[in-house]
A = this chain, B = another copy of it.
Amino acid sequence: MSKIGTVSTHQATLSDDRNLYIIKIGGNVIDNSESLHVFLKDFTALPGLKILVHGGGKAATQLSETLGIEAKLVDGRRITDIETLRVVTMVYGGLINKNIVAQLQRFGTNAIGLTGADGDFIRTKKRPVNAIDYGFVGDIDEKSINPNNISNLMEAGFTPVFCALTHDGEGQLLNTNADTIASALAVALAKLYDTTLIYCFEKKGVLKDINDEDSLIREINPDHYNELKTQQIIHSGMLPKMDNAFNAISCGVKAVIIGHSDDLDKLKHNKPFGTLLSKS
């Protein structure tokens, strides 16, 4: 598909009242105050209903180190023990989330900062202990999100800002991957809105050559994705993001865009932005 294809998708997105953008920003955006400032301003300028989902950034790791809590890894996988859960509750749910909300309010977005416990918006199951005990990690399933509940909040005039925490409904907060939260929100809310899911990070999108920002791939469909995986052009950290994205599309999400947080304003101006993942 051509650039024009991308533009028309965005135009359609901006002209419909039932449109919803779910935008996830990663830790690199959060750790760079200038990038975060630009992003939150552009987020505010985007018309219509919006949800922001944010990851962690360096603050949690730094606080853990200062407190002498060692990062626990088993087979290269990070474990959320009770001390780490305490730290991420403070940093994700408090420090990062509430400062983002205060900034958004400054720009004019009527933001409300949330975990999945708030409003019972995202109820997950603690990951079962098999070969590895991941600790206080919550896995999302198809029953985790009631879209009407979140819709109530948005229709009352508020813009949700989710951090990477959920709950089990029994009083326990749980750590949940922010990319997964964003795609699960998109899938659930696609039942009510024409939903576009956007992953903003520190690259221009999916690149053929990770060291060359000019090697941006404008569009990827599932067949093309399989090719890129076979060629190992897409690998490691991008794989779960892309898998989440294509899963979201197959579950009714209109489009997924992966792009640079500095470029979000292109969406408002109907300019091509990042890599568009499409159904076919």
Q: Report yes or no: A171 in contact with B102, Cβ–Cβ below 8 A.
A: yes
Kindly report how many copies of this chain are found in the complex they form together: 2
Instruction: Specify which chain B residues have a CB less than 8 angstroms from the CB of A86 in the assembled complex.
Output: 95
> In the complex, are the beta carbons of A102 and B117 less than 8 A apart?
yes
Are A105 and B89 touching (Cβ within 8 A)?
A: no
Interface residue tally on A, bucketed by range: 35 or more
Which residues of B are found within 8 Å of A105, using beta-carbon distances? 117, 120, 167, 169, 171
Contact A117:B89 (CB < 8 A) given known A67-B66, A157-B152, A170-B106:
no
Contact call A167/B93, Cβ cutoff below 8 A: no
Residues of B within 8 A of A172 (CB): 102
**Docked CA distance A155–B155 (Å):** 12
Q: Is A228 an interface residue (CB 8 A)?
A: no
Instruction: Report the minimum CB–CB distance from A89 to chain B (whole Å).
Output: 5
Q: Which residues of A contact B (CB under 8 A)?
A: 63, 66-67, 86, 89-95, 97-99, 101-103, 105-106, 110-115, 117-120, 152-153, 155-158, 165, 167, 169-173
Give 10 closest A-B pairs by Cβ, nearest first: A94-B94, A90-B90, A106-B171, A93-B94, A156-B156, A90-B94, A102-B117, A112-B118, A93-B98, A102-B167
